[in-house]
Amino acid sequence: MGINEVRERYFIVGGAGFIGSHFTDKLLEDPSTAKVTLYDNFVSGREWHYQHHQKDARFSVIRAQFASAVSLHSASGRGSSSKLP
């Protein structure tokens, strides 16, 4: 990868569901994708939707309930500030 290439990071809320898992499949097919994080409470999402990605170092899952934009912002790794971009 060249010095000017950007590697994209994605954070999918509800990612363990049917639609979110298909987004994950497409994103991880792309070698320029640096990271895909699923954030899901698993009320309707299922682990089998993404289990084939569990050995991919670019993939992670956060099992949590969406409580507020601040908690989501914190979980995304962008900080815990209450002031969102």
Q: Which domain holds residue 49?
A: 8-75
3-state percent helix, strand, coil for the chain, nearest multiple of 5: 30, 20, 50
The pTM of this model reads: 0.75
Q: Does residue 13 lie within any of the structural domains? A: yes
- Whichever domain contains 54, its CATH number is 3.40.50.720
Q: Does residue 82 lie within any of the structural domains? A: no
**Residue type at 28 in one-letter notation:** L
**Residue type at 51 in one-letter notation:** Q
Q: How many domains is the chain partitioned into structurally?
A: 1
DSSP E strand boundaries for 15-76? 33-40, 59-63
- How many residues are there in the chain? 85
Q: Does residue 16 lie within any of the structural domains? A: yes
Which pLDDT tens digits describe the chain residue by residue (85 residues)? 555 566 799 999 889 999 999 999 999 999 999 999 998 999 989 999 999 999 999 999 998 887 766 777 777 776 544 443 4
